[in-house]
């Protein structure tokens, strides 16, 4: 049974388009000490995403946290081929935004929908940051 698409508007932070399975956390994310930049594996102890891999995912979380080094680490993940394909936040903060800018990872924030109701881990999501549109297409073929 096919799921109907859900579309909502968001503010463009970093332009671009991407599509991938969602990985959702209701907790803030820190790239410094939180993610292995060689594998994309989420390593922060006791975080809901611990053990998940962010590579190729649309990473959905409320806000970034942590050290300014996180911006460079996102760039390093892109160079290593293990970065998220897009980031969707409730509120962009400077560290994650700068990381997305230098890494050319599309990023949006300030959605006009309840982000955590609209997107679930495993949903196939399209982010058109240029247009400020996020579309939940349905469940990805393999989930997460």
Q: How far is 8 from 42, CA to CA, in rounded Å?
A: 27
Active-site option among 5, 25, 52, 67: 67
Contact 99, 75 (CB under 8 A): yes
Tell me if residue 67 is catalytic. Answer: yes
Instruction: Give me 82's structure tokens.
Output: 């293990």
**Mapping DSSP to helix (H, G, I), strand (E, B) and coil, where does residue 140 land?**
coil
Contact 23, 121 (CB under 8 A): yes
**Cα four-point dihedral sign 138, 144, 112, 48:** positive
The catalytic residue positions are: 67
């Amino acid at each position: 049974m096919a799921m109907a698409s859900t579309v909502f508007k968001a503010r463009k932070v970093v332009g671009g388009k991407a599509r991938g399975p969602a990985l959702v956390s209701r907790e803030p994310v820190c790239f410094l000490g939180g993610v292995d930049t060689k594998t994309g594996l989420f390593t922060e102890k006791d975080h809901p995403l611990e053990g998940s891999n962010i590579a190729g995912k649309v990473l959905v979380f409320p806000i970034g946290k942590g050290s300014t080094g996180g911006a460079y680490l996102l760039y390093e993940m892109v160079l290593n081929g293990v970065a998220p394909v897009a980031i969707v936040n409730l509120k962009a903060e400077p560290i994650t935004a700068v990381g997305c800018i230098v890494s050319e990872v599309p990023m949006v924030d300030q959605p006009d929908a309840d982000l955590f109701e609209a997107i679930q881990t495993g949903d196939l999501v399209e982010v058109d940051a240029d247009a400020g549109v996020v579309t939940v297409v349905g469940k990805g073929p393999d989930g997460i």
